[in-house]
């Protein structure tokens, strides 16, 4: 009689291969949304296999299609399951319902970001329920220097002076003609961020893109994340809407912080 161990190993090779391939697909999507062909290339599997695995993972909520696109990204069920992996995943899961409310209210994409060294990393994004014909890309997984985007400026504004000085001592990369690359100008912006509780960036990281962000504080009153809303500059923010939008983002950040501190 074969031992149970041998029986399991002998009968599960195809199952183990499928699991490995599925994890390969998830790892590929961890860097941001991809199409089937891109997933196949990144995972080194046939395109037909990638399509089959994506369909299976989507049925379980582990991945989802980006609204209005053929690309896939990590799904909300997978993010919820991963809550136990650490504070970052906690923030993603806790922030998601608030992001849904925020994007419904403002009609533009909303997201949450964390600090990763001298960069900000976008860890989740929610699209509006009735998306506009022209949408901005999904930034999930993207890392961007702190000075170039409002979520990053929110973090810079809270850094101790010696730490901020180290950041400003290095050349500030320009992404557009409007990127703040002068240390003095950036310091002035950060003073406004601390006073107002939010940051606006208009065409500074990407031409035609405007974004506003506010900080999320944990139980120790430390800034652990930022919530943001962004949209095409030609329509966002609408005329006279700056204050209302910024207030909505600050309120969303406060709600996420309260949920984070409550552990729910």
Q: Name which residue leads in pLDDT, 67 or 130.
A: 67
pLDDT, position 1: 39
pLDDT tens digits, one per residue of 3-42: 333 333 444 566 677 888 888 888 888 878 899 999 999 8
pLDDT of residue 10: 41
Q: What is the Cα–Cα distance from 190 to 152, expressed in whole angstroms?
A: 10
Which pLDDT does position 84 carry in this prediction? 43
Cis peptide before 237 (omega within 30 of 0): yes
The vertex-208 CA angle with 206 and 211, nearest 5°, equals: 70
Q: What is the mean pLDDT of residues 131-156?
A: 84
pLDDT score for 79? 63
Q: Sheet holding 209-217: strands in order across?
A: 143-145, 119-126, 109-116, 223-232, 209-217, 199-202
Q: Mind listing the pLDDT tens digit for each residue in 118-128?
A: 999 998 999 88
Residue 256 has pLDDT above 90, yes or no: yes
Chain segment 228-248, per-residue pLDDT in tens: 999 999 999 999 999 999 999
Per-residue pLDDT at 251: 97
Per-residue pLDDT of 159-178, as tens digits, reads: 989 999 999 999 999 999 99
First-to-final CA distance of the chain: 51
What residues does each domain of the chain span? 4-74, 86-262
How sure is the predictor about 219, in pLDDT bands with cuts at 50, 70 and 90? confident
Of 128, 133, 109, which is closest to residue 229 (Cα–Cα)?
Answer: 109
Higher-confidence residue of 193 and 134: namely: 193
The three-state secondary structure class of 114 is: strand
Residues in a beta bridge with 227: 112, 214
**Equal CATH topology for 4-74 and 86-262:** no
Q: Is the pTM of this model over 0.85?
A: no
Q: Is the pLDDT assigned to residue 85 strictly greater than 60?
A: no
The string of DSSP codes covering 145-202 is EGGGSHHHHHHHHHS-HHHHHHHHTSPPPPSSTTS---HHHHHHHHHHHHHHS-EEEE
Query: 260 CB contacts (<8 Å, ≥6 apart)?
Result: 90, 91, 94, 216, 218, 219, 224
Of 78 and 100, the one with more pLDDT: 100
3-state secondary structure (DSSP) of residue 70: coil
Taking the C-alpha atoms of residue 86 and residue 98, their distance in angstroms, rounded to an integer, is 20
Which of 80-94, 95-109, 133-147, 210-224 comes out lowest in average pLDDT? 80-94
pLDDT value for 64 = 87
**Strand ranges, E, within the chain:** 63-65, 72-74, 109-116, 119-126, 143-145, 199-202, 209-217, 223-232
Q: Which CATH architecture has domain 4-74?
A: Orthogonal Bundle (1.10)
pLDDT at 80: 56
For 86-262, give the CATH class: alpha beta
CA distance 150 to 194: 12
């100008």: which residue's tokens?
Answer: 185
- Give 2 or 152, the one with higher predicted confidence: 152
Per-residue model confidence (pLDDT) at position 133: 62
Q: What is the mean pLDDT of the chain?
A: 86
Q: Which range is least confidently modeled, 13-17, 70-74, 226-230, 247-251?
A: 13-17
* DSSP tag of 86: -
Distance, CA of 124 to CA of 256 (rounded, Å): 13
């Amino acid at each position: 009689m074969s031992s149970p161990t041998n029986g399991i190993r002998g009968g599960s090779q195809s199952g183990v291969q499928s699991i490995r391939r599925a994890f390969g697909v998830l790892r590929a999507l961890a860097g941001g949304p991809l199409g089937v062909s891109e997933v196949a290339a990144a995972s080194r599997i046939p395109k037909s296999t990638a399509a089959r695995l994506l369909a299976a993972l989507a049925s379980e909520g582990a991945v989802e299609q980006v609204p209005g696109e053929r690309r896939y990204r990590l799904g909300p069920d997978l993010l919820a399951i991963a809550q136990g992996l650490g504070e970052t995943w906690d923030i993603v899961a806790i922030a998601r319902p608030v992001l849904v409310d925020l994007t419904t209210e403002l009609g533009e994409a909303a997201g949450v970001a964390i600090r990763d060294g001298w960069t900000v990393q976008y860890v989740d994004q929610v699209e509006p329920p009735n998306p506009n014909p022209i949408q901005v890309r999904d930034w999930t997984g993207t890392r961007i220097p702190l000075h170039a985007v409002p979520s990053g400026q929110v973090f810079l504004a809270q850094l101790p002076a010696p730490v901020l000085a180290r950041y400003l001592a290095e050349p500030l990369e320009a992404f557009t003609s409007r990127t703040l690359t002068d240390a003095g100008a950036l310091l002035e912006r950060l003073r406004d961020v601390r006073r107002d509780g939010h940051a606006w960036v208009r065409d500074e990281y990407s031409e035609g893109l405007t974004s506003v962000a506010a900080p999320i504080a944990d139980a120790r009153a430390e800034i652990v994340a930022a919530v943001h809303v962004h949209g095409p500059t030609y329509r966002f923010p609408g005329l006279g809407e700056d204050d209302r939008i910024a207030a909505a983002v600050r309120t969303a950040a406060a709600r996420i912080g309260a949920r984070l501190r409550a552990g729910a």
